Amino acid sequence: MVTPSPLIPARPSGPGVIPPWPRPGRAILPLLLLMALLNGFLSAAEVTATLEPASIPAGEGATLRITVRNGNVTALNAPEVPNLIMQGPNQSRQMRSINGVTSSSLTLSYAVGSMTPGDYAIPPFTLTVDGGAIQTQPLQLNVTPSANQTPQGLAPGSTPPSSAAASGDQDFGFLTVELAGNTRKHVWVGEIAPVRIKAWIPGDAEARITSGLQPQGSSFTLHNVSDQPQQTVERNHGKQWRVLTWYGGLSAAKAGTYAPDLSIKATVSIPDPAASRGSRRGDPIFDRFFGRMVQKEVVLRSKTEADDQLEIRALPVEGRPDNFDGAVGVFQFGKTDIPGRWQTGEPQQISVEVTGSGNFALLSQPSLVPAGVFKSYPGQSSFTPGDVASFSGSTTFRFSEVARRSGSPGVHLSLSFFQPETGTYQTITTPDRTVEISGTDLPDDPAPASTAVPAAPPATEDAMMPLRTDDSAVAALTPLVFRPAFRTLTVLGGSVTVLGILLGLARRRRSDPQRRARSEEARALQSALAESESCAVRGDLAGFFSSARKALQLSLASRWQRPAPSITLADLTGRLPDNSPVLEFFAEADRQEYSRRDSGAAADRLPAWRSLLRQALSSLPPPVPRT
């Protein structure tokens, strides 16, 4: 027999006793709650801002860090403080997982400083985190007078020199444009001259290109500029430069002498050349970020000397082939596919590759010779560049031709272009090939087959529809459907529609003949009953019975669907039980009507007759709907 230990009380048992939870389970719920709270605490977004150090000499920078934990930043509003320079932000993100709880943080870093000594109050930054606005705490920065030589022209308390005064634009970089592989000093209209474009940025500068390359003026068009420039470091005039190189093509649309100058926008930060440098921490990366840097939005331009301007020559008219469509360059035929068997009237697909270098945009579909035997239709072309500037490459034309004349002619493809190096036109052909054309000859077209050789793609301006000389109606750009008035008018129309329907239903209801008849019967019944009551009050026995009899007839008429005056005692006798109060009252009413007995004696019984009338009316079954 086991004696229960006194330390462990016996578990109570019996009906109605709820046993307690097991001991381990009691700890689970609080633990779960604590974890949920902890997770919630850890999941909530929090933002902190720090500034290190809080005191710096003028011209040096402190680091302002804004750390956002467990939140997504969608907007940031940095305050502006006079005389305080803020560079940034730089972003870094960190993910951390501790005991299964994941947290993330985003750090935004600014370099903050000033050239003017003083105490600066940095207002809170406002961030939008997960849809809600959060502000950092305000910060204080103390800028002490610099022990080093101050930047040229900068006295304590004065504003920093403007970038233009401190250094010329040239110090921020420049652009050069070189004709690549071309010893000529002239180019032809339509010729794409390959160019190498270099942006020269000082080696110790930070630069961000903020636009694409643009030709200066409207004389030249830039083609196929490489997407990403090559980056190199070069020395020029004893100075190190960071060089960005693009390749592209320049073409001119009109004859003349022009400077092939280009420009590009950039944001360049260079060290202040008049100030000495030094960071307390000796961090060259920090120095580059903010260490008396002068930043400027600049336009880097190339500058062509007068002697280096480019002459654009118009294509000569003399010697121009009939099938010349404007292609300038050097081209040759590649793979060619011309079917050997033809049927007149049946289209056949021709494929031809043209390789070379030049203005492929002006290269048009070759023509099949002899032209009179075939009719050509415009097809498709696909270009494959051979270099980064797409100056060389190949175009494959696929188009349809229809044979019009039967026979066994020798056919070839023909293409004419202008060769810029020699300044002459050249016509190339594919080798002659004999084809078999069967079928009956097709009649000649009424008009010459002008589409046999499709025109070269016209320049944009040539194909544009001209100016409109007459004005059209002025209208709002926002259509009515997107304005509140549209909804209002639609709802109004709907309301009027509903009103009309309701009015119509009401009108039909009013004009319903059966309903009208029922209304009239009801009115007549009410009138008769009111008359009978009035007579009863007056003691007019004859009037009471007359009007009450009429009321009974009207009630029975709506039930039996017979005219009320035609209902007599005989009808009631046949249709109602003998003990019906209707029968009793009607019989008495007839006696009063026809016998004219002394009303004095019967007048005492008027209340009883009124009660009998009410019984009679209430004993009647509900009226049957008229058919």
Q: For tokens 């560049």, what's the residue?
A: 385
- In the complex with another protein, the residue whose CB is nearer, 427 or 490, is 490
Binding flag, residue 385, another protein (CB under 8 A): no
Q: For tokens 């009303």, what's the residue?
A: 599
Q: Helix (H, G, I), strand (E, B), or coil: what is residue 504? A: helix
- In the complex with another protein, the residue whose CB is nearer, 7 or 464, is 464
Q: For tokens 């070759």, what's the residue?
A: 366
Q: Helix (H, G, I), strand (E, B), or coil: what is residue 139? A: strand
Q: Which stretch binds another protein (CB under 8 A): 270-278, 459-467, 584-592, 610-618?
A: 459-467
Binding flag, residue 468, another protein (CB under 8 A): yes
Q: Which of 138, 156, 349, 486 binds another protein (CB under 8 A)?
A: 486
Cα–Cα dist 132/126, whole Å: 10
Binding flag, residue 159, another protein (CB under 8 A): no
Contacts of 533 (CB under 8 A, 6+ apart): 610
Contacts of 144 (CB under 8 A, 6+ apart): 55, 56, 57, 58, 117
Binding flag, residue 128, another protein (CB under 8 A): yes
Q: Which of 469, 579, 618, 627 binds another protein (CB under 8 A)?
A: 469
Q: Which stretch binds another protein (CB under 8 A): 167-175, 238-246, 487-495, 612-620?
A: 487-495
Binding flag, residue 95, another protein (CB under 8 A): no
Q: Which stretch binds another protein (CB under 8 A): 255-263, 473-481, 521-529, 607-615?
A: 473-481
- In the complex with another protein, the residue whose CB is nearer, 244 or 338, is 244
For 61, phi then psi, to 5°, come to -125, 150
- In the complex with another protein, the residue whose CB is nearer, 490 or 561, is 490
Cα–Cα dist 47/90, whole Å: 16
Binding flag, residue 218, another protein (CB under 8 A): yes
Q: How far is the CB of 218 from another protein (least distance, A)?
A: 8
DSSP E strands: which ranges in 504-549?
Answer: none
Binding flag, residue 465, another protein (CB under 8 A): yes
- In the complex with another protein, the residue whose CB is nearer, 74 or 276, is 74
- In the complex with another protein, the residue whose CB is nearer, 7 or 481, is 481
- In the complex with another protein, the residue whose CB is nearer, 51 or 73, is 73
Q: How far is the CB of 413 from another protein (least distance, A)?
A: 26
Q: Which of 57, 79, 88, 161 binds another protein (CB under 8 A)?
A: 88
For 87, phi then psi, to 5°, come to -110, 130
Binding flag, residue 461, another protein (CB under 8 A): yes
- In the complex with another protein, the residue whose CB is nearer, 314 or 506, is 506
Cα–Cα dist 383/361, whole Å: 9
Q: Which stretch binds another protein (CB under 8 A): 242-250, 433-441, 496-504, 597-605?
A: 496-504
Q: Which of 181, 504, 539, 565 binds another protein (CB under 8 A)?
A: 504
Binding flag, residue 447, another protein (CB under 8 A): no
User: Number of residues in contact with another protein, rule: CB under 8 A?
Assistant: 54
Binding flag, residue 285, another protein (CB under 8 A): no
Cα–Cα dist 271/287, whole Å: 9
- In the complex with another protein, the residue whose CB is nearer, 254 or 508, is 508
Q: How far is the CB of 318 from another protein (least distance, A)?
A: 32
Structure tokens at 214: 């643009």
CA distances from 184 to 188, 198, 351, 371 (A): 11, 20, 35, 38
- In the complex with another protein, the residue whose CB is nearer, 185 or 483, is 483
Contacts of 9 (CB under 8 A, 6+ apart): none
Angle at 291 between CA 286 and CA 295, to 5 degrees: 110
For 489, phi then psi, to 5°, come to -65, -40
Q: For tokens 């190498």, what's the residue?
A: 196
Is there a contact between 96 and 106 (Cβ–Cβ < 8 Å)?
A: no
- In the complex with another protein, the residue whose CB is nearer, 215 or 347, is 215
**How many other CB atoms sit within 10 Å of the CB of residue 55?**
12
Q: In what order do the strands lie in the sheet with 256-258?
A: 186-188, 310-313, 256-258
- In the complex with another protein, the residue whose CB is nearer, 212 or 273, is 212
Q: How far is the CB of 529 from another protein (least distance, A)?
A: 35
**What sign does the dihedral 315-320-326-332 (CA atoms) show?**
negative
Structure tokens at 125: 């930054």
Q: Which of 37, 38, 133, 496 binds another protein (CB under 8 A)?
A: 496
**How many other CB atoms sit within 10 Å of the CB of residue 178?**
13
Cα–Cα dist 112/215, whole Å: 38
Q: Which stretch binds another protein (CB under 8 A): 37-45, 331-339, 346-354, 464-472?
A: 464-472
Nearest C-alpha neighbor of 568 from the set 586, 584, 555: 586
Buried residues in 260-296 as b, exposed as e (16+ CB within 10 A): bbbebebebbbbbebbeeebeeeeeebbebbbbbbbb
Give the footprint of another protein on residues 323-382 (CB under 8 A). Answer: none
Binding flag, residue 249, another protein (CB under 8 A): no
Residue 275 Cα to chain centre, angstroms: 49
Structure tokens at 380: 């498709």
Q: How far is the CB of 343 from another protein (least distance, A)?
A: 33
- In the complex with another protein, the residue whose CB is nearer, 31 or 465, is 465
Q: How far is the CB of 315 from another protein (least distance, A)?
A: 23
Q: Which stretch binds another protein (CB under 8 A): 278-286, 434-442, 456-464, 525-533?
A: 456-464
Give the footprint of another protein on residues 49-78 (CB under 8 A). Answer: 73-77
Q: For tokens 């956002």, what's the residue?
A: 68
The strand pairing partners of 85, in sequence order, are: 113
Q: Which stretch binds another protein (CB under 8 A): 44-52, 289-297, 363-371, 494-502?
A: 494-502
Is there a contact between 207 and 267 (Cβ–Cβ < 8 Å)?
A: yes
Q: Which stretch binds another protein (CB under 8 A): 83-91, 281-289, 309-317, 421-429?
A: 83-91
Is there a contact between 101 and 42 (Cβ–Cβ < 8 Å)?
A: yes
Residue 371 identity (one-letter amino acid): A
Binding flag, residue 517, another protein (CB under 8 A): no
Q: How far is the CB of 472 from another protein (least distance, A)?
A: 4
Binding flag, residue 474, another protein (CB under 8 A): yes
Q: How far is the CB of 227 from another protein (least distance, A)?
A: 8
Binding flag, residue 10, another protein (CB under 8 A): no
Residues making contact with another protein (CB under 8 A): 73-77, 88-91, 128, 211-212, 218, 460-461, 463-483, 486, 489-490, 492-494, 496-504, 506-508
